[in-house]
Amino acid sequence: MVKISAVINTRNEGSLLEDCLKSLKFCDEIVVVDMESDDNSREIAYKHTHNVFMHKPLDWVELARNFGIAKATGDWILIIDPDETIPHSLCAKLIEIADEGKYDFVRIPRKNTVFGEWVKYSRWWPDYNVRFFKKGKVEWQDIIHSIPVTYGEGLTLDAKEDLSIGHLRYTTIDQYLAHMLRYTKIQADELIKDGYQFNFADILSRPIGEFLSRFFAGEGYKDGFHGLAISLLQGFSFAIVYLRVWQEQGFKTQKGNSFYQTWLSTTGSKAREFTYWQFTMLMHLTDSKLKRFLYKLKRKISTISLR
């Protein structure tokens, strides 16, 4: 009989861990790797499994994924975070896939709830993750937010709510900012390690580009104010990454004509992009063929005039 093991890495997630563990009753084994929590995480974990292992605290979870997988004894491994849950319909689907044994790993959509709302656009859906696989067919790299290395044939589940992992991503702005401060330092260190030298234009182009990518290209406007808030926060996060690099490389300055030219060139380029996407959004939101044509015409005229 095929055995399924769930693997969870946790640190001070007691407020969320109970719901996560309750959703894993379909698994034959639950492995919890606790990174020295000082709340009730381990106490909650022991209520559901005796397979609780300690690991030193790390800046990001990818570094401990393989440790937890090595402790699991199942034929199939389900990776899940403490702020995630598995709905009943997905449980049944995963059991079916494991029993058939046709595939080696599965990409599962993830339903991200941010500030109390399911974010359906803004590049946050379907948010596919490789989380279910035959043991030995997936390995995580020691890089933040890395895509795992996979072996064999994979299956991508349909982007449906009932087949997605429930993810309680952020519940407050403070939580987002705390997460941002931790991860932007890691990301800045990675950039510096890779040889990146601070470019003044990047502090404008990268954050604005991230906002445009999420709010317009990712149709974040369809998420309403949530989409706007999330896109702004993601853009701000990019700004902090590059400001941290600027700090680490000595707060180099740029003044006079050089600064003005950088400002004008970068903001001018992004202004054209903003105008392009603004009219593109209007084209998508109207059902009128005439209005779509006029918006397309205005988009072309306005972007030319800004050159």
The reply to whether the predicted model has a pTM over 0.85 is yes
Give the separation between CA 108 and CA 129, rounded to whole angstroms: 5
pLDDT digits over 207-252, tens only?
Answer: 999 999 999 999 999 999 999 999 999 999 999 999 999 999 999 9
pLDDT at 123: 96
What percent of the chain shows pLDDT beyond 90?
Answer: 90
pLDDT at 57: 85
pLDDT at 145: 66
Same domain, 32 and 127: yes
- Domain-embedded: residue 247: yes
pLDDT digits over 120-179, tens only?
Answer: 999 999 999 999 999 999 998 776 667 899 999 999 999 999 999 999 999 999 999 999
- Domain-embedded: residue 97: yes
Same domain, 164 and 267: no
CB atoms within 10 A of CB 157: 18
Q: Which CATH number goes with the domain that contains 62?
A: 3.90.550.10
| Mean pLDDT, rounded, for 171-199 | 95
pLDDT at 140: 84
Weakest-pLDDT range from 39-53, 69-83, 114-128, 292-306:
292-306
* Among candidate residues 142, 133, 5, the one with its CA nearest the CA of residue 68: 5
Give the separation between CA 114 and CA 176, rounded to whole angstroms: 10
Long-range contacts of 231-234 (CB under 8 A, 24+ apart): 231/122, 233/173, 233/176, 233/180, 234/210
- Domain-embedded: residue 165: yes
pLDDT at 188: 96
- Domain-embedded: residue 294: yes
Number of structural domains (the chain) is 3
Structural domain boundaries, residue 152:
4-169
pLDDT at 154: 98
pLDDT digits over 24-64, tens only?
Answer: 999 999 999 999 999 999 999 999 999 999 999 877 777 78
Same domain, 290 and 225: no
pLDDT at 302: 80
Same domain, 198 and 296: no
Same domain, 88 and 128: yes
- Domain-embedded: residue 257: no
Same domain, 65 and 156: yes
Same domain, 90 and 18: yes
Long-range contacts of 217-220 (CB under 8 A, 24+ apart): 217/123, 217/277, 218/121, 218/122, 218/123, 218/124, 219/121, 219/122, 219/284, 220/121, 220/122, 220/123
Which residues, 6+ apart, have CB-to-CB distance to 238 below 8 Å?
206, 207, 209, 210
pLDDT above 80 (res 306): no
SS3 readout for the chain: CCCEEEEEEECCCHHHHHHHHHCCCCCCEEEEEECCCCCCHHHHHHHHCCCEEECCCCCCCHHHHHHHHHHCCCCEEEECCCCEECCHHHHHHHHHHHHHCCCCEEEECEEEEECCEECCCCCCCCCCEEEEEECCCEECCCCCCCCCEECCCEEECCCCHHHCEEEEEECCHHHHHHHHHHHHHHHHHHHHHCCCCCCCCHHHHHHHHHHHHHHHHCCHHHHCHHHHHHHHHHHHHHHHHHHHHHHHCCCCCCCHHHHHHHHHHHHHHHHHHHHHHHHHHHHHHCCCHHHHHHHHHHHHHHHHHCC
pLDDT at 64: 81
Same domain, 113 and 242: no
Give the separation between CA 141 and CA 146, rounded to whole angstroms: 6
* Among candidate residues 89, 64, 91, 88, the one with its CA nearest the CA of residue 76: 91
Same domain, 49 and 123: yes
How high is the mean pLDDT of the chain?
Answer: 94
Give the separation between CA 300 and CA 27, rounded to whole angstroms: 56
**Domain termination site, one of 207, 233, 252:** 252
> What's the alpha-carbon Rg for the chain, to the nearest Å?
23
**Domain termination site, one of 169, 198, 224:** 169
